[in-house]
Amino acid sequence: MTKPIVAGALISEAVELACRAPSLHNSQPWRWIDNGAVIDLFADPHRIVRSTDSSGREALISCGAVLDHFRVAMAVAGWTIHVDRFPNPNRLDHLASIDFSPLEHVTQVWNDRAKAIRRRRTDRLPLGAPTQWGAFEPVLRAVVAANDAVALDVLDDDARGKLAEATRLTESLRRYDEFYHRELQWWTARFRRSDGVPENARVSPTERDRVAVDRAFPPGGTGERRAAITQDEAKILVLSTIDDTRTAAFSCGEALSAVLLECTMAGLGTCPLTHITEIEDSRRVIRKLLGTAAMPQILVRVGTAPADNPAPPTPRRPVTEVLEFRR
C-alpha cells in the first residue's frame, strides 16, 4: 500500500508546535528530515549538553518528548502517526521513522492537548499544592500506564527533605566541575535568542530557597515573585524505567510529554527535574525513597501557580533550523 504524503506546510506547522517540548537547558537536541511519505527524527549530536549529559540520556528523553508532541500536533491536523523506533542499528542518532494514516475523527482531547502544548511552561518558581489531587492522580497513572516501559511514582510529602539533601549533594559533587559550570553559563548567556534558559525563566536566590529541589542555575528573576507561597508545596513525581537503555530513555520522554500535557490541561504548573538523576549518588537516594531497583529518569514538580503570575515562555529555534525537506 502506498503511504500517504502529508503537505509540507502541515508538516512544518506540526514540527514547529512539537518543538515546544522541554529539553535539558532548552538545548532542543533534535532535527527532522521530511522524505515525503516518511519523516525521520534524529538526535542532534551538536546540541547534547556533554558535561551535564555525558551519556546523551537526557537528550533522548527530550527527543521522546518532542516525538509525543509531534503525535499531538499531527492528530489535531487529522493524522495518526506510525513510529518505527531506532530503525537503523548502524545510526544511533536515528531515533524514529514516521509515516501517517488519516485520522477518522479529531476528538476534543486532541484539541485540548495541542492547546496545552502552547500553554505549557517549565515553572521554576514556588508552586502551591495541586487542587483535587486525589481525583487527578489516577488520571496521570492511567496516562503513563499506556507506556508499559515507564513507571510513575508520587513521592510522599515528607520525602522533600531527602530530595533537598540530594540536591545539595549533587551541587557539592559538582562544585569544582569547571566544564559543568561553563556549560551552565553558556546556556544561560544573554546573547542566546532562540534556545537556552533566559533570565526571566530562572529564579533569584530567595525564590530558590522556597523551592529547595531544583538545579542551581545562575540567578535570575526579582526575588519578589509569588511571595504568598512561602514554601513550595508541589507534588513530586518520578518517572522510572526498568533499565537504563536508550530505548528506555526515549520511551520515558514520550511518557513525560503525556504527563506534562495532562497537568497543563488540568490547570497545573510543572517543572521537570533531572539534576538529581545525573549523578549516581543522588539517583541512589531516589531509589531508596521509592524502595525499588528501577532507574529514576526524571522528576516532575506539579502544583498550582497564580493565574496572574504565570511562568514566562522560553524561546525556540526557527523551524527552518530543525526541519529539512528532501522530497
Report residue 6 as a C-alpha cell.
502529508
Residue with grid cell 508541589, as numbered in its chain? 234
Instruction: Give the lowest-confidence range in 70-74, 227-231, 307-311.
Output: 307-311
Beta bridge partners of residue 212, listed in sequence order: none
Query: What CATH number has the domain spanning 133-303?
Result: 3.40.109.10
Angle at Cα 150 formed by Cα 11 and Cα 271, nearest 5°? 70
Mean pLDDT to the nearest integer, 140-157: 96
Residue 4: per-residue pLDDT: 92
CATH 3.40.109.10 domain residues, the chain: 8-119+314-325, 133-303
Query: What CATH number has the domain spanning 8-119+314-325?
Result: 3.40.109.10
Evaluate if residue 2 carries a pLDDT over 90: no
Residue 305: per-residue pLDDT: 94
pTM for this entry: 0.97
Residue 223: per-residue pLDDT: 77
Evaluate if residue 222 carries a pLDDT over 80: no
Backbone angles phi, psi at 270, to 5 degrees: -140, 155
Residue 308: per-residue pLDDT: 84
Residues 19, 67: contact at Cβ < 8 Å?
no
For residue 180, the surrounding DSSP H or E stretch is helix 178-187
For residue 320, the surrounding DSSP H or E stretch is helix 319-322
Pairing of the two strands 94-102 and 150-154 = unpaired
Residue 1: per-residue pLDDT: 65
Distance CA 39, CA 257 (A): 20
**In terms of DSSP H, where are the helices of 28-177?**
57-76, 108-119, 133-145, 160-173
Q: How many CB atoms lie within 10 A of CB 84?
A: 13
Residues 180, 174: contact at Cβ < 8 Å?
yes
pLDDT digits (tens, 9 = 90+) for 240-265: 999 999 999 999 999 999 999 999 99
Percent of the chain with pLDDT over 70: 100
**SS3 state of residue 8:** helix
Task: Return the higher-pLDDT residue of 2 and 210.
Answer: 210
Q: Can you give the length of the chain in residues?
A: 327
pLDDT band per the 50, 70, 90 thresholds, residue 191: very high
For residue 290, the surrounding DSSP H or E stretch is helix 280-290
Residues 94, 87: contact at Cβ < 8 Å?
yes
| Identity of the residue numbered 64 | G
Instruction: Give the lowest-confidence range in 70-84, 169-183, 217-231.
Output: 217-231
Evaluate if residue 174 carries a pLDDT over 70: yes
Instruction: Give the lowest-confidence range in 140-144, 222-226, 283-287.
Output: 222-226
Mean pLDDT to the nearest integer, 207-213: 93
Residue 312: per-residue pLDDT: 87
Give the distance from CA 195 to its chain's centroid: 14
Question: Mean pLDDT for the chain?
Answer: 96
pLDDT band per the 50, 70, 90 thresholds, residue 214: very high
Distance CA 82, CA 98 (A): 6
